[in-house]
C-alpha cells in the first residue's frame, strides 16, 4: 500500500516578512516538519505562496504601488526564483530534494493536462522528491485563474489523492468571531459541515501580503472535503504544527471532516472555484431531472434567467422557490436562453446545442 499523502500550503504572510524578505527561519521550520512527516511514513507536497510578495521589493516596488497585472506577473517571475532558491537551501539542510511544479487552472479543467500533471507529481513523490507547487502567475490568464493558492492546494490534494490538506496561515484556525475585533472569540476545533453561518464568520485577509484570508480557506476546505480529503487550518508558527496535524492532535487547529464521496476535478473546479456570473431559474420538473436523474439542463425547463453571460461562463441554478441547488458551465449565452425560454428541443434552430448546461458541466451543490 502506498504511503499516505499530505498537501501542506503555506501563505505569503508566513513565508515573506513585512519588508519583502523571504523568511528563511519559517522555511527551515516548515522543511524540518516535512522531514519529520516523511520519516513517519507520509509523502508530502508543499504548495507555497509568496512569489509576488518576494519579487516586488527586488523591483523597488510595494504592493500598495502596483495595480498593473503585467507588473505583478513580472514580480512573480522575479520572486519565484528567490523563493525556490530559499526552498532549495532549506531542503538541502535536511538532505532533501525539491522539484518545482507551476500549475494553471487548465491543468485541472482539461483531462489530458490533468493526467499529465498528476503523473508528474506522482513521479516526483515516487522518486523521493518534495514537490513545491505554485500557480504559474507569470503567465496567468486574468480571466481564468485560481484566485489564491488555498484553492490551488485543495485541487492539488484531489489531484494526488491526498489523505490530508493542511492550510498553514497566521491565525490558529477558524474562530467563532473575528479575533481581531472580538476578544471573546474562541477556536472552532472541528467542523462537519461548511454552511452559510461559518462563511459569514470568515473575515478578509489578515495581511496586505495575503491574497486569500479565512474566506478563501473555507472555500478550499469545501473543495477538499467534497473530494474526500480531510482539511486542517492551523497557525504556521505553532511548534510541530504539521506533524501534529497528520497525527490528529486535538486543539492544534480547525479540522474539517471529509465527505464520503469524491467529485471529479472538473466538477470541483466548476462548483467551488469558478465565479458565477448569472443565474438560471428552473421549474420543479427540471430540478428533479437534474438531481434525481442526472440529466442535462434543457431550455424546456427554464423559467427565467438573470445576468449577462456568454457560453462557457459559470451560472447558478435555482428553483422557483429561490433555492440555489446547482451550478454549471453554460453552452448558451444569456441572450440565447432568453430567446428560447421554455422551448422543447425539437423547436430549437439547427446547430444550437440541445443542452443549455450539459450534465458533465453540472454540479449539484451540497445542501
347 by Cβ neighbours in 10 Å (0-12 / 13-18 / 19+) ranks as exposed
Q: Please report the pLDDT score of residue 145 as a whole number.
A: 45
Task: Name the residue ranges covered by the structural domains of the chain.
Answer: 5-265, 275-364
* Residue 98: strand pairing partners: 130
CATH, domain 5-265, list 3.40.1160.10, 3.30.70.380, 3.90.1150.10, 1.10.10.10: 3.40.1160.10
In order, the DSSP letters of 313-363 are -EEEEE-TTS-EEEEEE-SS-HHHHHHTTT--GGGSPTTS-SEEE-GGGEE
Asked if 33 and 243 count as a contact pair (C-beta separation under 8 A), the reply is: yes
List the CATH code of the domain at 275-364.
2.30.130.10
Asked if 37 and 30 count as a contact pair (C-beta separation under 8 A), the reply is: no
For residue 322, count other CB atoms closer than 10 A to its CB: 8
Identify which of 327, 362, 356 has the alpha carbon closest to the alpha carbon of residue 344: 356
Task: Give the side-chain half-sphere CA count within 13 A for 273.
Answer: 29
Buried (b) or exposed (e) across 244-281, using 16+ Cβ within 10 A? Answer: bbbeeeeebbbbbebbeeebebbbbbbbbbbebebbbb
- Cα–Cα separations (whole angstroms), residue 323 to 275, 287, 318, 328, 364: 18, 11, 5, 15, 12
Question: What average pLDDT values come out for the chain (367 residues) when binned by 10 residues?
Answer: 90 86 94 97 95 88 75 87 95 97 81 89 97 80 58 91 94 82 84 73 47 76 88 95 95 89 76 84 96 94 95 94 93 95 88 92 81
Q: Please report the pLDDT score of residue 263 as a whole number.
A: 76
Q: Which residues contact 152 (CB under 8 A, 6 or more apart)?
A: 9, 47, 103, 133, 134, 135, 146
- Would you call 100 helix, strand, or coil by DSSP? strand
pLDDT tens column, 30-48 = 999 999 999 999 999 999 9
Identify which of 365, 323, 343 has the alpha carbon closest to the alpha carbon of residue 356: 343
Q: How many residues would you count in the chain?
A: 367
Asked if 7 and 40 count as a contact pair (C-beta separation under 8 A), the reply is: no
CA angle 95, 98, 102 (to 5 degrees): 170
Give residue 221's Cα distance to chain centre. 8
pLDDT tens column, 310-327 = 999 999 999 999 999 999
- Would you say the pTM of this structure is higher than 0.85? no
Give the separation between CA 35 and CA 41, rounded to whole angstroms.
Answer: 10
Amino acid at each position: 500500500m502506498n504511503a499516505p499523502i499530505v498537501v501542506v500550503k503555506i501563505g505569503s504572510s508566513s513565508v515573506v516578512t513585512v519588508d519583502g524578505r523571504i523568511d528563511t527561519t519559517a522555511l527551515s521550520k516548515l522543511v524540518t516538519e516535512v522531514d519529520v512527516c516523511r520519516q513517519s511514513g507520509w509523502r508530502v507536497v508543499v504548495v507555497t505562496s509568496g512569489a509576488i510578495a518576494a519579487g516586488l521589493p527586488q523591483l523597488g516596488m510595494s504592493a500598495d504601488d502596483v495595480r498593473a497585472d503585467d507588473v505583478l506577473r513580472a514580480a512573480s517571475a522575479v520572486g519565484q526564483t528567490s523563493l525556490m532558491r530559499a526552498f532549495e537551501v532549506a531542503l538541502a539542510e535536511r538532505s532533501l530534494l525539491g522539484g518545482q511544479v507551476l500549475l494553471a487552472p487548465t491543468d485541472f479543467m482539461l483531462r489530458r493536462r490533468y493526467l499529465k500533471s498528476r503523473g508528474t507529481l506522482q513521479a516526483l513523490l515516487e522518486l523521493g522528491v518534495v514537490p513545491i507547487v505554485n500557480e504559474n502567475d507569470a503567465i496567468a490568464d486574468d480571466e481564468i485563474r485560481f484566485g489564491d493558492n488555498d484553492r490551488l492546494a485543495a485541487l492539488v490534494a484531489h489531484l494526488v489523492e491526498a489523505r490530508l490538506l493542511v492550510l498553514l496561515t497566521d491565525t490558529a484556525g477558524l474562530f467563532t468571531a473575528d479575533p481581531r475585533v472580538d476578544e471573546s472569540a474562541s477556536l472552532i476545533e472541528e467542523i462537519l459541515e461548511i454552511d452559510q453561518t461559518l462563511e459569514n464568520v470568515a473575515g478578509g485577509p489578515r495581511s496586505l501580503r495575503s491574497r486569500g484570508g479565512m474566506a478563501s480557506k473555507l472555500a478550499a476546505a469545501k473543495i477538499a472535503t467534497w473530494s474526500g480529503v480531510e482539511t486542517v487550518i492551523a497557525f504556521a508558527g505553532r511548534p510541530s504544527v504539521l506533524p501534529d496535524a497528520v497525527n490528529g492532535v486535538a486543539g492544534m487547529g480547525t479540522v474539517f471532516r471529509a465527505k464520503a464521496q469524491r467529485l471529479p476535478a472538473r466538477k470541483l473546479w466548476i462548483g467551488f472555484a469558478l465565479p458565477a456570473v448569472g443565474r438560471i431559474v428552473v421549474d420543479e420538473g427540471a430540478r428533479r431531472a437534474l438531481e434525481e436523474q442526472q440529466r442535462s439542463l434543457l431550455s424546456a425547463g427554464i423559467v427565467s434567467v438573470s445576468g449577462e453571460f456568454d457560453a462557457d461562463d459559470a451560472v447558478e441554478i435555482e428553483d422557483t422557490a429561490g433555492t440555489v441547488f446547482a451550478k454549471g458551465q453554460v453552452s448558451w449565452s444569456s441572450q440565447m436562453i432568453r430567446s428560447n425560454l421554455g422551448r422543447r428541443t425539437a423547436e430549437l434552430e439547427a446547430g444550437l446545442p440541445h443542452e443549455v448546461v450539459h450534465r458533465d458541466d453540472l454540479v449539484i451543490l451540497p445542501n
